[in-house]
Amino acid sequence: MIKSKQTKIILSLTILILLAFSIIILHFFPGNYTKYQREIKRADKLLENLQLEEAKIHYHNALSYLTDASHPQNQIHRIDSILLSRHMETLFTSELQTADSFFIAGAYEQARIHYTKAGEVAPHHSAPIVKLEEIEAIMNNQDEKQKHLEKPFHIVVGVFENAKNLEQTKKMIIQKGGQPLVIYRKKLNLQAITYNSYSTLQEAYNNLAQIKKLVTPDAWILYHSEKQ
């Protein structure tokens, strides 16, 4: 009986001490939840005004009061996603502008490097892909022109008006081991296709008989240079 009374007294004293301690804490220190709400209110307002970095600071402050709160964690993640997107868009624009400058100047190799980087940063943008295809066509054309300059003597194996027939002959030449070029004859509005090209007239004559047997007896030699 005496032990039971002692137990009740101790329990009552414990409750009174805890209550007193809670009152002291609430009296002398503002509640963490109040501070949390204040920081959240500031952060939400800043985010609404797109002041992202400042908002992020206040969301972190809020987490210092309630470490497990989901709202500030979600908002920080959202802000980080927006900031990353902005950074990638800025990087893409910078690479694209640099590439455009090189392209306009005719520096196609440098332009290709920066268009490639722009495409890696933003794969969903079509502009770098279009420009890379354009550069490829330009550089292939330059290679062909250079070949004309270096090897101006060509063995012609066909002249066409119809593009389909020309493509069929081109495939046949490649299968037989030739390196075809298409030469547009502006005055005649025709396209000549060659089996191969040579640096000298003698080289062309040395191969003419073989190509007549291999492709067509109507093969003939044409001198054509881009300088013409």
> What does the pLDDT look like over 164-183, one tens digit per residue?
788 889 899 999 999 888 88
pLDDT at 201: 92
Q: Is the dihedral of CA 128, 130, 132, 138 positive or negative?
A: negative
Say whether pTM exceeds 0.85.
no
Tell me which of 120, 142, 164 is where a domain ends.
142
Residues 8 and 60 in one domain: yes
Count CB neighbours of 7 within 10 A. Answer: 10
Residue 106 lies in a domain: yes
pLDDT tens, residue by residue, 27-59: 444 578 888 899 999 999 999 998 999 999 999
Predicted pLDDT at 38:
92
* Distance separating alpha carbons of residues 131 and 181, to the nearest angstrom: 25
Say whether both 75 and 8 belong to one domain: yes
First to last CA, the chain: 125
Instruction: Check whether residue 22 and residue 40 sit in a common domain.
Output: yes
| pLDDT for res 146 | 65
Last residue of a domain, one of 80, 110, 133: 80
Full residue range of the structural domain in which residue 190 is found: 151-223
Q: Are strands 153-160 and 220-223 parallel, antiparallel or unpaired?
A: antiparallel
Query: Any idea what the CATH number is for the domain that residue 177 is in?
Result: 3.30.70.1070
**The predicted structure's pLDDT at residue 25:** 45
69 falls within a domain: yes
Distance CA 207, CA 181 (A): 16
Distance, in Å, from the CA atom of 91 to the CA atom of 121, rounded to the nearest integer, reads 7
Q: Which of 32, 52, 80 is the last residue of a domain?
A: 80
Q: Across residues 92-118, what is the average pLDDT?
A: 91
Question: What gap in Å lies between CA 75 and CA 68, rounded to an integer?
Answer: 13
105 and 166 assigned to the same domain: no
Q: Which residues contact 15 (CB under 8 A, 6 or more apart)?
A: none
Q: Are residues 72 and 20 in the same domain?
A: yes
Does 75 share its domain with 97?
A: no
Q: Are 215 and 205 in contact (CB under 8 A)?
A: no
Q: Minimal CA–CA distance to 194: which of 167, 160, 155, 143?
A: 155
Domains of the chain: total = 3
- Domain membership flag for residue 228: no
Across 17-21, 72-76, 101-105, 199-203, least confident range: 17-21
Same domain, 70 and 111: no
Whether residue 115 is predicted with pLDDT greater than 80 in this model: the reply is yes
Which pLDDT tens digit goes with each residue over 66-84? Answer: 888 899 999 999 999 999 9
Q: Same domain for 6 and 57?
A: yes
Indicate whether 92 and 76 sit together in one domain: no
